[in-house]
Every structure is written in structure tokens, then in C-alpha cells.
Amino acid sequence: MLSERINRNWIQAFRDTFELCRIKAGDSVAILSESQSRQCNVLMAELALAEIGAIPFHIQMPSRPAGPIPIRSTGASQVLRGLSPVVTALGSSAMVADLTVEGILHAPELPAILQGGARSLYISNDHPEILERCKPDRALRDRVLVGSQLLRNAKHMRVQSAAGTDLSIEVAGSRAGGNWGVCEEPGTLAHWPGGLIACFPRRNAVNGTLVLDAGDINLTFKKYIDSAVTLRIENDYVKSIEGRGYDAEMMRSYYESWNESEAYAVSHIGWGMNPGARWDSFVMYDKGDTNGTEQRAYAGNFLYSTGANLFAQRETVCHFDLPVRNCTITVDDVVVVQDGHLNNGLFEQSPVPAKVSGARF
């Protein structure tokens, strides 16, 4: 395990990110954490905000007691528990620096927090070395904006691979957006590391086959896939999990342990845009040092997720994030990713509007 002794360069990375979020002197910023949060990151958030001249205040919730099933990779932290005084305090701040272990990106309380006027930045529960390497910048912002506009205007997405993936996804009317690791305006959210284009499909939008090949990643289990797993998907729901190795067996076992039909349904889908994020860096860290957010964002991956989808009225804390390599992703008639390689020319040549403010509910 890497040391978490506070370094000056890490504080600077936090400060740079907060300043990109337009935090300024006098802004009240809620630092949301829980008893099991990475305390090094919690303290560096406070120090960086103090350097800016903002007014940080802490809301620390007790982590929930362990249940019969380990919960990982949810994006739907349960620590807020619907407590209205906490939700009100968070919503009345200029920004929420979300340092909970799982994040509140899919938590049921998030819409009320954003509607209260706050913006929310989930700082992934990663070792700060990862956060520093994947610090957001304006070049990523411009590319993400082009990608998010493309997806918002699209009707259909198709995903194929030589391994056997062939998915048809209706994206018209879905809640779509892009995240570059920064939220600039009230009512927006982002996660750091960023660089992801994604949408939450409406009901009955996803059909086909998804093949997780050796070298793809199961972020819920925090491991590379060793033996291929085939998911058969009908009207959003995984109907079968096929494969001879223990990767398929573990997925079947984990899904079955929830005894919830919603656990099998699509949460969000999209592709990675961040050229600084790396597929191969995952092997360099112990499981306790990374939350895998970098691997959700590396350029050219297809990200398929199952679990909570507030826009399809589905709630569950069972969640799988599955970054898949070597796919070709076509949005309407535009190839955005070819065999796992981002179509860089598409994003560099398209016009870029003046500003972007993060994803919005």
C-alpha cells in the first residue's frame, strides 16, 4: 500500500481543481465524508479550500454497518439516509466536495441537493497520486463538450467488437451529458478523475450481447477479466451470464445474492475521453488504493453499467461498472470509437461552444 503522507503537490492539485470549479474566496463549500473516507483526501480538500479563501465546513456521516453482501462501485452512497437537515445544508452550499467512499452520483438525495442550488464534485476514493495524474484541464473540457453534444442529439448507438459484442441502444430522450472532472455552475455534478461521455437510457432501450473479454475490467470486483463472460441483454435486463471461468461464476453469484430484478438492468452507458487516464495503471495499485474511476474514463473504452437509473425509476445499490476494450461505437452514423481507439479528429475539428458546466440533472 502506498503512503498517504500529505504532499504539497497533492494539495495544489486539489486547489487547481477547485479553482476550475470557479470556487472563490468567501464561497461556502461542504466537505461531505463518512467515517471510512480516505482522511488524507478529506484534509487536503480543507487545506486547498482554505488557501483559496473559501469557507469549508464538514459534514461527516457514520459509514453504514456492513450488510450480508459487500457493496462496491455503486455511486449511490447510503450514508445520507434521506436526512433532510443534511440534504438542506448540502444544497445551500456553493459546492459539495463529495468524499464519501462510494459517492452520491446515483444517490436518491442528489437531485434535491442540486435543486437547492449547490453543485457537486465527487472526488474519487483514490490514492491522491491517481487524482494528481488525472487532474482536469481545459483541453479535456473542450473534447468532452463535443462528445456530450453529439450524444444528446443522437437517436441510436451501436457497439460491436471482434470478441462478439453487438449492442443496440436507443439513446433518444435519454439523460445524456459529459464530465471532465469539474462542475462550474449551480445544479451540475462531476467526478474527478473525469473524461466520460454517458447517458442513462430510458426503459426498454438496450438489447443485444456484451462480451467481456480477457483484459477488460470488472470494477465492482476490482480485477481484470481472465476468462470471457457473455451477457445477453433484453429490454435493458441481463437475462443470462455465460462463461466457463470463475469470472462468470462470480458475477452470477453476486447478482443472485441481491434477489432484485433491478440489479440486472442497465444504469448508464458511454465511452471514455481522457487521454491521461490509463487502462493499464489499474494493475499498479492495491485494491484499497483505487476506486477505478480512472479506468471508467480512459480514452476509447466502452463503459457499460448495471444498477441504479433514476431516470428509468430504478433504484438498487447493486452496481457493476464494466469498461470494455477494443469496441467500435457508432452514434447514429458517426464512428466515435474504432476498435478501441477514440476518433480524435472528430473531437478536435468540431466547433466548441464558449462554456461547459458539467452534467446536469
Is the same domain home to 29 and 110? yes
> Does residue 197 sit within a domain?
yes
Confidence band of 4 (pLDDT split at 50, 70, 90): confident
CATH code for the domain of 63: 3.40.50.2300
Task: Indicate if the pLDDT at residue 349 is higher than 90.
Answer: no
Alpha helices in the chain (DSSP H): 8-20, 39-52, 84-91, 110-115, 128-133, 138-152, 246-258, 293-297, 344-349
Residue 117 lies in a domain: yes
Average pLDDT score over the chain = 94
* Nearest one of 78, 69, 79, 27 to 52, comparing CA atoms: 27
For every residue of 104-121, DSSP letters joined together read STT-TTHHHHHHTT-EEE
230: helix, coil or strand?
strand
Strand 119-123 vs strand 188-192: parallel, antiparallel, or unpaired? Answer: parallel
Backbone angles phi, psi at 51, to 5 degrees: -60, -40
**Could you tell me if 167 and 190 lie in one domain?**
yes
Query: What is the structure's pLDDT at 192?
Result: 98
- Give me the pLDDT at residue 72, please: 86
Q: Are 119 and 187 in contact (CB under 8 A)?
A: yes
Mean pLDDT of 23-32: 98
Whether residue 66 lies inside any domain: the answer is: yes
pLDDT surpassing 80 at residue 350: no
Query: Are residues 275 and 181 part of one domain?
Result: yes
| Residue percentage of the chain with pLDDT more than 90 | 88
Strands, sheet with 175-179, edge to edge from the N-terminal-most edge strand: 175-179, 196-200, 266-272, 302-306, 320-324
Sorted by sequence, the CB contacts under 8 Å of residue 299 that are 6+ apart come out as 195, 272, 273, 274, 275, 277, 342
Task: Give the list of residues 6+ apart from residue 103 with CB closer than 8 angstroms, or none.
Answer: 74, 75, 76, 77, 122, 124, 125, 191
Among candidate residues 100, 133, 166, the one where a domain is terminated: 133
Check residue 143 and give its pLDDT: 93
Question: Do residues 102 and 174 share a domain?
Answer: no
- In a domain, residue 1? The reply is no
pLDDT 10s digits, 146-187? 999 999 999 999 999 999 999 999 999 999 999 999 999 999
| 23 within domain boundaries | yes
Domain boundary among 104, 133, 162: 133
In a shared domain, residues 101 and 219: no
pLDDT at 348: 83
Query: Does a structural domain hold residue 47?
Result: yes
Boundary (domain end) residue, out of 82, 117, 133: 133
* Together in a domain, 114 and 261: no
Q: Is residue 224 part of a domain?
A: yes
By three-state DSSP, how is residue 214 classified?
coil
Domain range for 80 is 8-133
**Residue 223 confidence class, pLDDT cut points 50, 70, 90:** very high
Q: Are residues 54 and 197 in the same domain?
A: no
Are both 89 and 152 inside the same structural domain? no
Cα dihedral 307/309/314/315 (nearest 10): 60
pLDDT in tens, 321-345: 999 999 999 999 999 999 999 999 9
Domain membership flag for residue 352: yes
Confidence label for 360 from pLDDT (cuts 50, 70 and 90):
low
- pLDDT (tens digit per residue) in 250-269: 999 999 999 999 999 999 99
Same-domain check for residues 237 and 344: yes
Cα separation, 202 vs 174, whole angstroms: 6
Name the domain count of the chain.
2
Residues 282 and 253 placed together within one structural domain of the fold: yes
Residue 251 C-alpha cell reads as 458475477
> For the residues 2-29, what does the mean pLDDT come to?
95
Q: What is the mean pLDDT of residues 14-39?
A: 98
- Tell me: pLDDT of 354 over 50: no
Q: Are residue 212 and residue 258 in the same domain, yes or no?
A: yes
Same domain as 183, residue 312: yes
